[in-house]
């Protein structure tokens, strides 16, 4: 709720979204950057590469699921999200939570050596080799690398992830107009913030990123679905939210 009537309503929404992001981003970006020196040793990488497909998937699914829970909490704290119908809240989270996880991942990516923070240290794509889907991992790293190049501030990450989440074009929305109104408020808040900090150029680049995000998630979810359908044992280990995310 905004107590300072003098502030523009979009400033209130910006403050609410930045606060919600800060409270639900799992790791502060300062912490993640302070840990960049902690890189997996040759032996640790070999240990990951000798793990079974099942175990590696379980480890990733656990982390992804954990991250998705934080994204759910982020959404619930955005003014207006809980005023949407239960159905529409679920539709937006089902369609957008992995996209938000992917955007947030750029904060734990080190573009200087192409490593990402995973299970306490930084590692390259070779850490995930035993997953058996190197092109999926490669595209996740490429996306993080390209998003890092935009040097998004925490405020910009917060607003961009809110825009990604409140997408009125998601299929099966009941009250599309209501979502579109909320989306446009966030969009205005995002544009105001970018203009004030003379970052307008980022806007056009981010809209391309949103398209990449969509194709990355949808393309790989399908590949992932077929990959996992060959391994029924694995599929159930993708904890309920991720399973729900991928297969329903």
Q: Where do contacts with ligand LK8 occur on this chain (CB under 6 A)?
A: 27, 60, 63-64, 67, 98, 101-102, 105, 108, 116-118, 128, 131, 136-137, 140, 220-221, 224
Closest separation between CB of residue 61 and ligand LK8, Å?
7
What are the CA-CA distances from residue 209 to residues 104, 138, 203, 221 (Å)?
13, 16, 10, 18
By beta-carbon proximity to ligand LK8, the closer residue of 203 and 224 is 224
By beta-carbon proximity to ligand LK8, the closer residue of 92 and 136 is 136
By beta-carbon proximity to ligand LK8, the closer residue of 146 and 192 is 146
Token pair listed for 72: 């759910």
Closest separation between CB of residue 5 and ligand LK8, Å?
39
By beta-carbon proximity to ligand LK8, the closer residue of 131 and 203 is 131
By beta-carbon proximity to ligand LK8, the closer residue of 79 and 245 is 245
Closest separation between CB of residue 196 and ligand LK8, Å?
30
Closest separation between CB of residue 155 and ligand LK8, Å?
20
Are 13 and 186 in contact by the 8 Å Cβ rule? The answer is yes
Closest separation between CB of residue 106 and ligand LK8, Å?
10
Closest separation between CB of residue 19 and ligand LK8, Å?
21
Residue 20 class from Cβ within 10 Å (0-12 exposed, 13-18 middle, 19+ buried)? buried
Bridge partners, residue 123, by sequence: 116
The Cα 40–Cα 118 span in angstroms is 10
Nearest to 241 by CA among 101, 97, 75: 97
Token pair listed for 202: 């980022």
By beta-carbon proximity to ligand LK8, the closer residue of 161 and 193 is 161
By beta-carbon proximity to ligand LK8, the closer residue of 22 and 191 is 22
Token pair listed for 195: 């203009």
Using a CB cutoff of 8 Å and minimum separation of 24, what contacts does 189-192 make? 189/10, 189/11, 189/13, 189/14, 189/17, 189/159, 190/14, 190/156, 190/159, 190/160, 190/162, 190/163, 192/8, 192/10, 192/11, 192/14
Bridge partners, residue 116, by sequence: 109, 123
Closest separation between CB of residue 71 and ligand LK8, Å?
10
């Amino acid at each position: 709720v905004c107590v300072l009537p003098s502030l523009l309503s979009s400033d209130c929404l910006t403050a609410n979204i930045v606060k919600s992001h800060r409270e639900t981003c799992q790791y502060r970006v300062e912490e993640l950057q302070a840990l960049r020196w902690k890189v997996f040793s040759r032996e640790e990488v070999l240990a990951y590469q000798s793990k079974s497909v099942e175990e590696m998937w379980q480890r990733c699914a656990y982390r992804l699921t954990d991250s998705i829970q934080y994204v759910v909490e982020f959404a619930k704290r955005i003014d207006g999200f809980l005023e949407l119908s239960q159905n529409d809240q679920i539709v937006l989270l089902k369609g957008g939570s992995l996209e938000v996880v992917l955007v947030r991942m750029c904060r734990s990516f080190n573009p200087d050596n192409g490593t990402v923070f995973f299970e306490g240290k930084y590692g390259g794509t070779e850490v995930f080799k035993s997953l058996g889907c190197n092109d999926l991992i490669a595209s996740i790293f490429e996306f993080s690398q390209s998003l890092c190049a935009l040097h998004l501030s925490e405020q910009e990450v917060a607003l961009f992830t809110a825009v990604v989440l409140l997408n009125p074009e998601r299929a099966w929305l009941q009250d599309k107009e209501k979502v579109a109104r909320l989306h446009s408020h966030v969009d205005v808040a995002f544009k105001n913030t970018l203009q004030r900090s003379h970052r307008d150029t980022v806007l056009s680049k981010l809209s391309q990123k949103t398209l990449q995000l969509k194709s990355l998630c949808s393309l790989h979810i399908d590949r992932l679905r077929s990959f996992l359908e060959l391994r029924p044992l694995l599929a159930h280990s993708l904890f309920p939210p991720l399973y729900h995310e991928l297969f329903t």
